[in-house]
Chain A
Amino acid sequence: MYNDLNPILHSQLRLAIISLLVKNKAMEFTEIRAATNATAGNLSVQIKKLEAAEYITVLKSFKNNYPLTTLKLTQKGLLAFEEYVNELKKYLEP
């Protein structure tokens, strides 16, 4: 049986962000931007959506007097990603 894929994760950029955070414990905004090739504006919007869903935490601090945004995956985000991958697997293995 095919279930609907999680709409929060079923977006290329948001899925890429979560995938990167599963692989790396914490990542800076600039690192994610470089890895995804997204614009800063689009990335900020998608990060806010993931944060609102409590899939990630966003920590704002300073590094050498420059603002530093660090992203971390939450347990809720990890479980949502796991469910997404399991559902996707069903589509690939009918």
Chain B
Amino acid sequence: MEKENLNPKESLQIIQEMIQAEKLRFSENGFIYRFWGWLVSIAALAHFILLQLEMYDYHYYPWFLTIFGGIFTGFYYGRKKEKTSLPVSGKILSYTWITISFFIFGIAFFFPVRAGDLLLFIILSHIAVGTIVAGAIFKFKTLLIGGFICGAMAFVSLVVPREYGSLITIVAVVAADLIPGYQMKRMYNKENKI
């Protein structure tokens, strides 16, 4: 590979980009991971209970909670963005999650019948990709492992009866969102001496 010669200004630019990426990591308190972890777990549990109660007309209603979750996340990051300009890694992560959300909400709310038995696989595999990218950017092993577990759950969803899909979803978000989210909070509090 050809070695690129950088002038001091370019070198400093790269260093500053690295600093901004590290600042992004230090500023992450895991709130949004905990928020989605609890939101999806509650929706999935309610879905499961409604199915067990044979309320087939309403069983998917709890998932509408995620629309409010999406709106809240948009406001949360919109507010945060005003305070700090995102480094390249932050922009990659932001666009990755926006694209993933677009596909997840699109398939879940507009084409669930066409997706059929693959619906949960599509949703969980997308979440797994986002979580693994986030884990790589934050250099956070728990998030990486959570992403892989979520990906594994996507495949598990293909082989277990559909009514247990909600329970698989709970396992996936506990691994990909709740555990990393609480660990991030602990690390953030420790770093900021809260």
Which A residues have a C-beta under 8 Å from some C-beta of B?
A: 19, 22-25, 73-75, 78, 81-82, 85, 88-89, 92-93
In the bound complex, do residue A93 and residue B19 qualify as a contact, i.e. CB atoms below 8 Å apart? no
Contacts of A78 on B, CB cut-off 8 Å?
A: 19, 22-23, 26
Closest to A72 in B: B191
Summarize B's interface: helix, strand, loop or mixed. Answer: helix
In the complex, B192 has a CB within 8 A of chain A: yes
In the bound complex, do residue A22 and residue B22 qualify as a contact, i.e. CB atoms below 8 Å apart? yes
Contacts of A24 on B, CB cut-off 8 Å?
A: 139
Report which of A75, A85, A89 forms a contact with B26, defined as CB distance below 8 A. A75
In the bound complex, do residue B191 and residue A85 qualify as a contact, i.e. CB atoms below 8 Å apart? no
Among B9-17, B37-45, B99-107, B112-120, the stretch that binds chain A is B9-17
Closest to B23 in A: A78
CA distance A85 to B18 in the complex (A): 11
Q: Given A25-B139, A75-B191, A92 and B22 touching (CB < 8 A)?
A: no
CA distance A75 to B188 in the complex (A): 10
Contacts of A89 on B, CB cut-off 8 Å?
A: 12
In the bound complex, do residue B139 and residue A92 qualify as a contact, i.e. CB atoms below 8 Å apart? no
In the bound complex, do residue A82 and residue B23 qualify as a contact, i.e. CB atoms below 8 Å apart? yes
B26 CB to nearest chain A CB (Å): 5
In the bound complex, do residue A85 and residue B16 qualify as a contact, i.e. CB atoms below 8 Å apart? yes
CA distance A66 to B48 in the complex (A): 50
CA distance A78 to B87 in the complex (A): 15
In the bound complex, do residue A23 and residue B12 qualify as a contact, i.e. CB atoms below 8 Å apart? no
In the bound complex, do residue A22 and residue B18 qualify as a contact, i.e. CB atoms below 8 Å apart? yes
Report which of B18, B19, B23, B191 forms a contact with A74, defined as CB distance below 8 A. B191
In the bound complex, do residue B9 and residue A93 qualify as a contact, i.e. CB atoms below 8 Å apart? yes
CA distance A19 to B16 in the complex (A): 11
The 0/1 profile, CB within 8 Å of A marked 1, for residues 15-37 of chain B is 11011001101100000000000
CA distance A52 to B57 in the complex (A): 64
In the complex, B161 has a CB within 8 A of chain A: no
B119 CB to nearest chain A CB (Å): 36
Provide a sorted-by-A list of 22 A–B residue pairs whose CB atoms are within 8 angstroms: A19-B15, A22-B18, A22-B22, A23-B18, A25-B139, A73-B22, A74-B191, A75-B26, A78-B22, A78-B23, A78-B26, A82-B16, A82-B19, A82-B23, A85-B12, A85-B15, A85-B19, A88-B12, A89-B12, A92-B8, A92-B9, A92-B12
Contacts of B19 on A, CB cut-off 8 Å?
A: 22, 78, 81-82, 85
Closest to B27 in A: A75
Closest to A85 in B: B15
CA distance A93 to B7 in the complex (A): 12
Contacts of B26 on A, CB cut-off 8 Å?
A: 75, 78
